Amino acid sequence: MSLPEVSELQVRVNYSETDQMGVVYHARYLVWLDIARTEHLRLSGASYRDLESQGLRLVVSDVSLRYRQPARFDDIIRVRCWVREVATRRVTFGYAVEHAGDGRLLATASTGLVSLDADMRLTSLPDRVRAVLRVVPDPVRLGLTEAPGT
Amino acid sequence: MSLPEVSELQVRVNYSETDQMGVVYHARYLVWLDIARTEHLRLSGASYRDLESQGLRLVVSDVSLRYRQPARFDDIIRVRCWVREVATRRVTFGYAVEHAGDGRLLATASTGLVSLDADMRLTSLPDRVRAVLRVVPDPVRLGLTEAPGT
Amino acid sequence: MSLPEVSELQVRVNYSETDQMGVVYHARYLVWLDIARTEHLRLSGASYRDLESQGLRLVVSDVSLRYRQPARFDDIIRVRCWVREVATRRVTFGYAVEHAGDGRLLATASTGLVSLDADMRLTSLPDRVRAVLRVVPDPVRLGLTEAPGT
Amino acid sequence: MSLPEVSELQVRVNYSETDQMGVVYHARYLVWLDIARTEHLRLSGASYRDLESQGLRLVVSDVSLRYRQPARFDDIIRVRCWVREVATRRVTFGYAVEHAGDGRLLATASTGLVSLDADMRLTSLPDRVRAVLRVVPDPVRLGLTEAPGT
């Protein structure tokens, strides 16, 4: 089976996601990243629903996100997602959020997740999960540490 | 008038903010930071509603957030907020999210905002806004660049 | 102890609650009703957190909501809440959402909740809960069945 | 061109939509109805984005919703949507929310929308919009006025 190195998810911006600036509210991107990560796991052969029912929790421990251009109502958005790093009890995902129509880069992000057991204590990532998490080099420069607009 | 160097906001966790892990969903913290920032501006003498009606927009350009301990339904949360840096067209806020009851640190964060005009083009921060933004050293170590749980 | 017949909650509209029409997105009112109901129970002597930790769930079974005037960013909103009806396994709450500044009525609503046990099966409302639920006549006409704007 | 009388939309439940009861938070259904209504208009030949850019706003004026069975994380949900009534300045949509896998009915709903101009004043529905709104009898009994669980 050929696992995806970089998965792609499409979402259409709905009205609830906009704010009075006429663009997508910034917190909403974190939900798109979550959906993309869940699909990435599914495509890799690890359903998060199954993992959770087996007592594993992958909990977001840190987020870095840079917004580059706004997304608007009814736009179709593509989120590319990949694994940046895997450690014993931690996995880092990278993301590029793009406008599906013209390919413009809207945001880049990285999120760290830690592996917890059903009692919310740190635990090692199960081997079957580590086995499907294929680390790839960032396909786009995330540029998360520079200050934009200065 | 004595401006606050570090403002404090309290919110009580409502049911909509929880997820099936029994804790506050991670994206929700960005909304708390937004509310805290808006209150910080108001206490400093700059109502964001007024700024926006005068054609200024402060738009989130980047977020760094580290989650340390979960928040739960009905908990009272305190968000401390301060200005970390001011540049010509950009301001950076720092945040400490704490449990109001026992003072535990739940999350730390930094967000950059850029100054846009009504047409969404970069513009200088107005002098009256710069005048009320008092930069202070971080009152807590944000620790946003270390990888937790590894 | 004097129980409130009609409780009052105030919330300030935050940016995440607005949409690109420049008003509060309609689904957000349901969250305000939830917060108001939780406060009503608390003021009546029944913490929902405690009820849930004892195995009870109050689950929304039906909603009727009529929007009358828009709420806007930074407005302070008052939600009045009361108990309309109590049956063996069901309680109905009424709500009036008002602008705190000028008292304008923004929305009226009614929500039914059913009593479920920890396995999500219908169960009788515990006596200690029924004891604190004081039914009062609607303090405002809810007008939920008329079609506005026709 | 054959217009749909009853449109169908599928969404997959994401983690942000769950609450600590382990089911989809009740306010979230209103967003699904909004997405379904927007798709229904698009399939009928009236893009809401276009209507809004031409100065028309369709604003939710009332909601009736009955929850029948819970939706859960990762479930695929189907929302069927149709037009129940059209008046000069108002249109009413009906909805059946179903589990896509086994067809179980999860919720039924009706929402009224009024037609506003760019200044948020009541205005007649444009002829080109009325022309695409085909009223059909409810394909399922909505049962919005009965009290469940009593």
Structure confidence by residue, pLDDT tens digits, C3-22: 679 999 999 999 999 999 99
CA C53 to each of CA A120, B129, D20: distance values in angstroms, whole numbers, following the listed order: 18, 47, 12
Of C101, C2, C12, which is closest to residue C45 (Cα–Cα)? C2
Structure-model confidence comparison of residues A120 and A148, the more confident one: A120
Tokens of A96: 């590029």
pLDDT in the model for residue C145: 75
Q: Which residue does chain B place closest to A86, by CA atoms?
A: B150
CB distance B90–A114 less than 8 Å?
no
Comparing CB atoms, the residue among B87, B144, B147 nearest residue A150 is B87
Chain D interface test: which of A13, A74, A76 (most D C-beta within 10 Å): A74
Sorted by sequence, the CB contacts under 8 Å of residue A70 that are 6+ apart come out as A21, A23, A24, A106, B120
Closest by CA to A97, choosing from A76, A83, A118, is A76
Judge: D31–A38 Cβ closer than 8 Å, yes or no.
no
Alpha helices in chain A (DSSP H): 28-44, 48-53, 127-132
Confidence of residue B2 (pLDDT cuts 50, 70, 90): low
| Two tokens, residue D58 | 């369709």
pLDDT number for residue A145: 75
Chains C and D form CB pairs within 8 A to the count of: 95
Residue B45 DSSP code? T
pLDDT for A2 beyond 90 = no
Distance, CA of A11 to CA of A32 (rounded, Å): 8
The identity of residue C91, as a single letter, is V
CA end-to-end span of chain B: 47
CB contacts < 8 A, B to C, total 30
- Chain D touching partners, 3 or more CB pairs below 8 A: A, B, C
Rg (alpha carbons) of chain C, rounded to whole number: 16
Closest CA to C106 of C119, C114, C95, C91: C95
C19, C26, C30: best to mutate for the A interface, most A CBs within 10 A: C19
What the block records as the tokens of C13 is 């509209």
Length of chain A: 150
Distance (Å, rounded) from C-alpha C125 to C-alpha C40?
17
As given in the structure block, the two tokens for residue D11 are 């969404």
Contact D148 C64 (CB under 8 A): no
Q: Which pLDDT score is estimated for D83?
A: 98
> Per the CB < 8 Å rule, is A34 touching D47?
no
A140 pLDDT exceeds 50?
Answer: yes
For residue B38, list chain C residues with Cβ-Cβ distance below 8 A.
14-15, 74
pLDDT above 90 (res A4): no
**Does the structure show a pLDDT above 70 at C146?**
no
Active site residues of A: 19
Six-digit token string for D105: 């009915």
Is the whole model's pTM more than 0.90, yes or no?
Answer: yes
Residues of chain D that touch chain C, judged by Cβ-Cβ distance less than 8 Å: 21, 26-28, 30-31, 34, 57, 59-67, 70, 87-90, 92, 112, 114-115, 120, 122, 144, 147-150
pLDDT at A3: 63
According to the model, what pLDDT value does residue A146 have? 55
Nearest to D44 by CA among D83, D77, D79: D83
pLDDT band at C1 (very low <50, low <70, confident <90, very high): very low
What are the helix (H) ranges across D14-139?
A: 28-44, 48-53, 127-132
Ramachandran area for residue A125 (φ above 0: left; ψ -120 to 50: alpha; else beta): beta
Shortest distance between the Cα of A127 and any Cα of chain B, in A, equals: 16
Ranges of chain D whose pLDDT falls below 50: 1, 149-150
Q: Take residue C128 and report the two structure tokens written for it.
A: 């200690």
| Confidence grade of residue B1 (pLDDT, cut at 50, 70, 90) | very low
C30 and D34 within 8 Å at the Cβ level: the answer is: no
pLDDT of residue C150: 41
CA-CA distance, D123 to A70, in Å (whole number)?
31
Mean pLDDT of chain B: 94
Question: Scanning the structure block, which residue is given the tokens 């359903």?
Answer: A47
Amino acid in position D44: S
What three-state secondary structure class fits D97? strand
Structure letter (DSSP) for residue A45? T
Give me the pLDDT at residue D63, please: 98
- For residue B149, is it left (φ>0), alpha (ψ between -120 and 50) or beta? left
Does the annotation count D19 as an active-site position?
yes
* CA dihedral for D123, D124, D125, D127, sign (positive or negative): negative
Mean pLDDT of all residues in A115-124: 94
**Cβ–Cβ below 8 Å for D73 and A34:** no
- pLDDT tens digit string along B40-83? 999 999 999 999 999 999 999 999 999 999 999 999 999 999 99
- For residue D14, the distance in angstroms to the closest alpha carbon of chain C comes to 17
Chain B environment of C34 (Cβ under 8 Å): 14-16
Q: Which residue, chain included where needed, has tokens 């999120």?
A: A111
List CB contacts (< 8 A) between D31 and chain A: 14, 16
Give chain D positions within 8 Å (CB) of B22.
Answer: 20
* DSSP string covering D3-23: --SSEEEEEEPPGGGB-TTSS
